Chains A and B, each alone.
Chain A
Amino acid sequence: MVRGRLAWRVGRLAEVRDETPTARTLVLDVPGWPGHLAGQHVDLRLTAEDGYRTTRTYSLAAPADGDRIAITVQRVPGGEVSPYLTEVFAVGDPVELRGPVGGWFVWRPTAPDPVLLVAGGAGIVPLMAMIRARRAAGSRAPVKLLYSVRTPADVYYAGELRRPEPGLDVTVVYTRKAPADWPGEPHRIGIADVNTAGWPAEFAPQCFVCGPTGFVETMADVLVALGHDPRRVKTERFGPSGS
């Protein structure tokens, strides 16, 4: 897995899928991709004609499909890289990348224990990779996903998450505007949501929390307050500077 991880490779954009009005999935062909675990990242390096170069890290959104990998990029207004990747970068264009990166915030489909995934906004991306890896591997580990979004239009992978899947429970909480048939008022995820949609602490689930800093801080505190072992709560935070 480590072999070849540090080599910069040239990938090509093979396919795009718009997830929301501001988020786009990029499927890249990367010859020689060494494979990865759900939850890992990839570094993308962009070079301008004058030689200026910049690198960003993106969570992988799915298990590798041969040499094909997928990321989902949220457009940050005024950002340096995300507007390029979501608006200009076109099918067939090359980009340099290396990876996979990160060996902590990962889920292995061989693990039988229950899993709680808590996503805030774009934090769904590495957690979706875990859901897809579970499906691809035929894992029977029971998974619950608690996903906080502002409005129904902000749900990534909406069609896929709506399809029933044995052993996967999906709960979406809307903070600004909810669909007409959603019970309750829009609200920020609180202790009651985590208690209802998650696992009891005595089931000792692996917990993965990903989202903006404030969201992750709150959710991790709630899980610890509900009795989850802090060592089984893995977190990944997106700062506002993470564009």
Chain B
Amino acid sequence: MGIVTPGFRGRARTADERLPPGQYLVEDFPVLSAGPTPRVRTENWRFTVTTETGRTHEWSWADLLALPSETPTVDIHCVTRWSKLGTSWRGVSLDTLLADVDTAADYVLAECHGGYTTNLPLEDLLDGQAWIAYEFEGEELAPEHGGPARLLVPHLYFWKSAKWIEGLRLTLDEDLGFWEAAGYHAYGDPWREQRYQGD
């Protein structure tokens, strides 16, 4: 336990078991990104999955919308310490998108319009844990929140839920993404406070 900060009391708190350690609740939806917001037109939108052998699977916007969608309601946790509970989305499960992809890969590098990347273990995208989301709270996903479509992986810090998703690159070895190469944690579990390398 740390040293006591003289005179600091903190706000009256109620324990919420849905809140990971070190996080506080917000009602709004803060925006964090490293650069200008890309504006991606749905007629030009493509989503590709590239396997470790170079095989490419591709979906257009119409292809994506034609797939069965799900409406997950999930809690999201940003590494900057805000959490937002009970957010509702619509999107296509990665189980659906990866169903016909043959791969021996253990890792994924998510690649985005604007050049952003983030790395995840492939198993963290499967079994109902991740989606390509295109609606938030019943509305089209706004560009500043990653629209037209973003990755949604609510069990990891939200920088893993890559905005303006363009594709997934499946790899046998782990390549670090944008923030991970800049010193953030390779995995990013909010419940273990994996913020930075070494946490």
Taking Cβ atoms with an 8 Å cutoff, the residues of A that contact B are 2, 5-6, 8, 10, 45-49, 51-57, 80, 84, 88-90, 93-96, 101-105, 213, 217, 220-221, 223-224, 230-231, 233-235, 237, 239-242
Taking Cβ atoms with an 8 Å cutoff, the residues of B that contact A are 1-11, 13, 22, 24, 26, 28, 30-38, 80-82, 114-115, 144, 178-179, 182-183, 196-199
B8 and A220 contacting across the interface, CB-CB below 8 Å? no
A241 and B34 contacting across the interface, CB-CB below 8 Å? no
Rounded to whole angstroms, the CA-CA distance of A231 and B80 in the bound complex is 23
B7 and A89 contacting across the interface, CB-CB below 8 Å? yes
B28 and A239 contacting across the interface, CB-CB below 8 Å? yes
| Residues of A contacting B11 in the complex (Cβ-Cβ under 8 angstroms) | 80
Tell me whether chain B's interface is mostly helix, strand or loop, or mixed: loop
A47 and B35 contacting across the interface, CB-CB below 8 Å? no
| Residues of B contacting A233 in the complex (Cβ-Cβ under 8 angstroms) | 35-36
B183 shortest CB reach to chain A, Å: 6
A51 and B1 contacting across the interface, CB-CB below 8 Å? yes
Closest residue of chain B to A95, judged by CB?
Answer: B5
Rounded to whole angstroms, the CA-CA distance of A230 and B28 in the bound complex is 27
B26 and A241 contacting across the interface, CB-CB below 8 Å? yes
B30 and A47 contacting across the interface, CB-CB below 8 Å? no
- 21 A-B contact pairs sorted by A residue (CB < 8 Å): A46-B5, A48-B4, A55-B22, A89-B8, A90-B6, A93-B6, A96-B5, A103-B183, A213-B30, A213-B31, A230-B114, A231-B35, A231-B115, A233-B36, A235-B35, A237-B30, A237-B31, A237-B33, A241-B26, A241-B28, A242-B80
| Residues of A contacting B183 in the complex (Cβ-Cβ under 8 angstroms) | 2, 5, 101, 103
Rounded to whole angstroms, the CA-CA distance of A223 and B35 in the bound complex is 11
| Residues of A contacting B10 in the complex (Cβ-Cβ under 8 angstroms) | 46, 48, 52, 54, 80
Known: A47-B8, A221-B36. A239 touches B30 (CB 8 A): yes
B102 shortest CB reach to chain A, Å: 35
